[in-house]
Structure 1
């Protein structure tokens, strides 16, 4: 009698484990479908209801076949081990991007940059020369970001949105960009000088599909919009975070209103020597 109870308990546990695995895979499939829908929505190619339903059915069937194959090849124990590995990997994938940019307290430092008067410069140079100039600019910015451990969230035509763990690293990267633009080492940039404006702010942000959102992201963009060509502006929060950093000098604090953000905000210019 006891043996029968034990066997029944084991069978029930295995069935429950199988249901958990199936549910996890189903949730994962739905998430992938939603991600695909979001990508296509951004491209103006929304899925029809029939296409969404067909995609879900396809994902579920593929998951079920994969599960059955693992049971056949590895047994239930092998399936459970594989599922644990999948869960660990999915968890790692989900936090990879935010882990790259978040400090220990959960904040992130966001740097926006763009080329001053880029539209007029494009018109002056023509598309082919403009694209080549952008290539030199992008290479320079990426090198500076890499040097200071930043993460490029996205490129926005003539500018970048970049995230750093530490405010000091973001500011040093901004200084590096301005120094590299002015040292004349790139032949194309030496022949056609460009002026880049940089704005930096820090705070919490929301990560979704490798992008960052939230009021602090908007704040960083507004700070950058106040900068002039060749200038690096930082928020008062960045200034506070740099209070004991000796190699960064802030000058010319000024109060300004930022579009869409209530109140008056003090911005500080970074001295680029």
Structure 2
């Protein structure tokens, strides 16, 4: 028997590192076709918004982003349950985001999940489980979360509802793969009292596709939940006749919810419930008498969820019409946008004025107005807008946004700031500032902002 020399032993390859992981693939529906009719700037803006919406949710559920190529994410999770929940949260978050946009501006993604032992090399993963996840994504519909039988067998079924789609032959994969999906909400709840006032079909249609089942677990999902009560007044007229009674009991019920809440999620949504006006909460109270906390929260979504981001459509269109104009045409369109902004709810006007400044390329005033909207109104859309600026192509805009976000002490900006501090951005180190005598460094600005956050 031959014995290898010491030198030969040193040349043997190291043992491969493997791990049993849940793998998530996502991509944007129709992205290739969409880029063919967009400018480069529009395409970059789309990808910036896409990353701003999805990346925090991956991280909130314990995901590790392996790579992002164009419109696609490859993410790993140690828990298959958390992997599927992240996909559910993403679809509901995009539903809220899309409600304020024209169809051409909306983002619709596909989410596919598989689990298995993969090879880990140089911050990348390889193996058949990865290939299967990619193939399943290819058969996943937009706005859906599909997952394999391996995920179904290993996940916590009490946390994630499921429905079988069928068995599929996938290219390059031996045998058929059973595929499941997350069905749409509402999910099963206890039966209401016989005399309960049930939500109408119109109210049911305002439910996010997965009922905020996973999104409600995120401490800061990027939604303007604090202003929900004020904007809920728009539904008051529709249900006012059924909502008059029981207004006093609403506050008591909300207090009970707060005391009964056993998790951080229940406590968060109990506070949201307490902010709802009588026109909604008395209806919720009568509808869900005797239900548990989770069922009450689902009813809040049923009756009020559609109010989160639904206003301002005509105003936002008028603001977008300002982009790319100049001279007298711009002045006329700005004037029309300001007229419409004055007709919006008071808690939205500062944010919309910020959007108008942004449409004119006035980044400083826009960021100042967004900051004011966050401080004054707790406006989640203004917060998301500021965070999206951290991916802007202009170094000065990124640096300014980092400084503003640090001043607002926004923990939701920590992840994007860390990314900018690690990777920097275009034109870092280029001349800027007064008379071009200084240089712009958004990477350094992000690092400074993170220190300020840590000091708070």
Band of TM-score, shorter chain: 0.5 to 0.7
Does 1:192 pair with 2:105? yes
- Kindly indicate whether the alpha-carbon contact (under 8 Å) linking 2:145 and 2:182 is maintained by their aligned counterparts in 1: yes
2:37 alignment partner, SS class: helix
Specify the alignment match of 2:70 in structure 1. 157
User: What is the total number of aligned residue pairs between the two structures?
Assistant: 177
Specify the alignment match of 1:8 in structure 2. none
Does 1:265 pair with 2:153? no
Q: CA deviation at 1:221?
A: 0.8
Q: Distance in 1 between matches of 2:39 and 2:181?
A: 33
Given candidates 236, 247, 254, the residue that maps to 2:149 is 236
Distance 1:219 1:167, change over 3 A: same
Q: Distance in 2 between matches of 1:132 and 1:231?
A: 24
Does 1:177 pair with 2:98? no
Q: Distance in 2 between matches of 1:224 and 1:211?
A: 19
1:247 alignment partner, SS class: coil
Specify the alignment match of 1:251 in structure 2. 163
| TM-score between the two structures when normalised by the length of structure 2 | 0.36
2:132 alignment partner, SS class: helix
What is the CA deviation profile of residues 33-58 of structure 1, one whole-angstrom value per residue up to 9, with x for unaligned ones? Answer: xxxxxxxxxxxxxxxxxxxxxxxxxx
Distance 1:153 1:237, change over 3 A: same
Deviating 4+ runs (over 6 angstroms): 185-191
Task: Return 5+ residue gaps in structure 1 as ranges.
Answer: 1-22, 32-93
1:205 alignment partner, SS class: strand
| TM-score between the two structures when normalised by the length of structure 1 | 0.59
What is the CA deviation profile of residues 170-198 of structure 1, one whole-angstrom value per residue up to 9, with x for unaligned ones? Answer: 00110111111001289679871121001
Task: Return 5+ residue gaps in structure 2 as ranges.
Answer: 1-6, 184-209, 212-456
2:106 alignment partner, SS class: coil
Q: CA deviation at 1:124?
A: 2.5
Q: CA deviation at 1:239?
A: 0.5
1:178 alignment partner, SS class: helix
What is the CA deviation profile of residues 135-183 of structure 1, one whole-angstrom value per residue up to 9, with x for unaligned ones? Answer: 0001111110110011000001101000000000100110111111001
Bigger strand share: 1
1:107 alignment partner, SS class: strand
Distance 1:221 1:141, change over 3 A: same
- Kindly indicate whether the alpha-carbon contact (under 8 Å) linking 1:148 and 1:169 is maintained by their aligned counterparts in 2: yes
- Kindly indicate whether the alpha-carbon contact (under 8 Å) linking 1:136 and 1:186 is maintained by their aligned counterparts in 2: no
1:111 alignment partner, SS class: strand
Q: How does 1:14-29 map to 2 (within 5 A)?
A: none
Q: How does 1:86-125 map to 2 (within 5 A)?
A: 106-125=19-38
Greater RCO (CA < 8 Å, at least 6 residues apart): 1
- Kindly indicate whether the alpha-carbon contact (under 8 Å) linking 1:133 and 1:188 is maintained by their aligned counterparts in 2: no
